[in-house]
Chain A
Amino acid sequence: MIIIQIAGFLGSGKTTLMIRIGKAMSEKGKKVVIIVNEVGEVGVDGDVLAQQGLRTLEISEGCICCSLSGTLQNTLRKVKQEYSPDIILLEPTGLALPNRINSLIRTSMVEPEMTRTVALVDAFRVDDLLANTRQFFIRQVEHADVLALNKVDVIGEDRLLDIERTLEEVLPDAKAVRISAKTGEGVEALVRLLNI
């Protein structure tokens, strides 16, 4: 069993990428289960993923990296026991800290063969995020296995190069890839980088 965490700030495109990767893996014959977490009681993403025909479990009313950490570990054990999936795709809230979630996975006793973390960065809004919530933004993306620069379909090449230079300064060790979760551009390259 492999666990892939698709993390990133609010509105960075996590659900759209989950749908694309979930469908692609299912078409390859993999048994995929999605665990999605929403910060509020009224969850939207679980419904969206389920409408796409993907097996989805929703955890709401809190964050799996802090207030619902025990719920995450219980859910991982339950999913492993009841569904025996090849892949668990995990979508935390846009306010979660992925590194904490990885710590929780390590101590959850589900013993995945591999855990991968993708940090999605909203290329269109990255300047606003760095200007207004820099410390939190960096904490969200700093330990990811792959940094996926999303929404490249709405940004010109010069601007993208500027953003990539900025990210290199902020996160010099990051392995980055350009994607558009909406159009599918770069998603195959991202999956190859994950080595799953």
Chain B
Amino acid sequence: MTIDDTPQEEDSKEMAHAGSAGVEWDLTWESGLTEEEMRQRLEEWLTLISKELIGAGPMLGHIKAIFKCKDGWMRVNLVDPRLKMDVDGDLKGAVQGGRMKVMAALVGKNDEQVMDGLLKGTGTFLKGQDSNVRIIRTTKKDNIIRMEGLM
């Protein structure tokens, strides 16, 4: 193995021409969701974000989410729209609320573009959902205002 003499100040994310963003939400549903209903909703949510971010192009990156509540957790990972999403976890009973983290990182987009796609996809998802959403934090503070406008 050779020693890498590249200066550490060279940013690998910039070198890859990649952007990333993440948001953390508290979610509550008016009716309790089964594990299967939760899986369907999370898959739908990530699919809508993916459509905003890449359209029909290749996904050079990934979108991933984890939902946690007192009755368990569920993780969803989307790395290519041509493949089934990876879903795992353990949720018991009727889930009425919990905390959700979503993050995306993609080559060919900057941080702002990734955040924009993440929020637009989420806005589309939330239309028609019997859910309430409260943002805990985002990777960019100014996006909180834009997100509140979607709810």
Point out residues on A near B: beta carbons under 8 Å: 10-11, 16, 38-45, 47-48, 51, 63, 65-67, 69, 93-97, 99-100, 102-104, 106, 117, 122, 124-125, 128-129, 132-133, 136, 143, 145, 154, 182
Q: Are A99 and B83 in contact (CB under 8 A)?
A: no
15 A-B pairs in the complex with CB atoms less than 8 angstroms apart:
A10-B60, A10-B106, A11-B61, A11-B80, A40-B103, A43-B103, A44-B64, A44-B103, A51-B75, A65-B8, A99-B1, A99-B2, A100-B6, A104-B8, A132-B107
Q: Are A95 and B18 in contact (CB under 8 A)?
A: yes
Q: Are B103 and A38 in contact (CB under 8 A)?
A: yes
Q: Are B105 and A42 in contact (CB under 8 A)?
A: no
Greatest chain B CB density within 10 A among A16, A45, A66, A104 is at A66
Residues in A with CB closer than 8 Å to B39 are none
In the complex, chain B residues 17-38 whose Cβ is within 8 Å of any chain A Cβ: 17-18, 20-24
Residues in B with CB closer than 8 Å to A143 are 1-2, 4
CB distance from A139 to the nearest CB of B (A): 8
Instruction: Indicate which residue in A106, A128, A145, A182 contacts B86 across the interface (CB closer than 8 Å).
Output: A182
Residues in A with CB closer than 8 Å to B62 are 10-11, 94
Instruction: Indicate which residue in A96, A125, A154, A182 contacts B58 across the interface (CB closer than 8 Å).
Output: A125
B68-86 vs A, Cβ < 8 Å mask (1 yes, 0 no): 1000010101011011001
Instruction: Indicate which residue in B23, B58, B68, B137 contacts A47 across the interface (CB closer than 8 Å).
Output: B68
Residues in B with CB closer than 8 Å to A132 are 58, 60, 107-108
Q: Are A65 and B60 in contact (CB under 8 A)?
A: no
Point out residues on B near A: beta carbons under 8 Å: 1-4, 6, 8-13, 15-18, 20-24, 58-62, 64-66, 68, 73, 75, 77, 79-80, 82-83, 86, 89, 101-103, 105-108, 137-139
Q: Are B86 and A96 in contact (CB under 8 A)?
A: no
Q: Are B80 and A125 in contact (CB under 8 A)?
A: yes
Pair count A-B, CB < 8 A: 132
Question: Nearest chain-B residue to A135 (Cβ)?
Answer: B15
List the 4 closest A-B pairs by CB distance, nearest first: A42-B22, A11-B79, A11-B62, A99-B4
Q: Are B4 and A94 in contact (CB under 8 A)?
A: no
Greatest chain B CB density within 10 A among A99, A106, A117, A145 is at A99
Q: Are A97 and B79 in contact (CB under 8 A)?
A: no
Greatest chain A CB density within 10 A among B8, B16, B64, B108 is at B16
Q: Are A42 and B16 in contact (CB under 8 A)?
A: no
Q: Are A128 and B58 in contact (CB under 8 A)?
A: yes
Question: Nearest chain-B residue to A19 (Cβ)?
Answer: B88
Q: Are B12 and A103 in contact (CB under 8 A)?
A: no
Whether A136 contacts B15 in the complex (CB less than 8 A), given A11-B77, A40-B21, A44-B64, comes out as yes
Q: Once bound together, how far apart are the Cα atoms of A96 and B106, in whole Å?
A: 13
Q: Are B4 and A66 in contact (CB under 8 A)?
A: no
Whether A69 contacts B83 in the complex (CB less than 8 A), given A10-B61, A11-B77, A42-B139, comes out as no
Residues in B with CB closer than 8 Å to A96 are 12
Residues in A with CB closer than 8 Å to B77 are 11
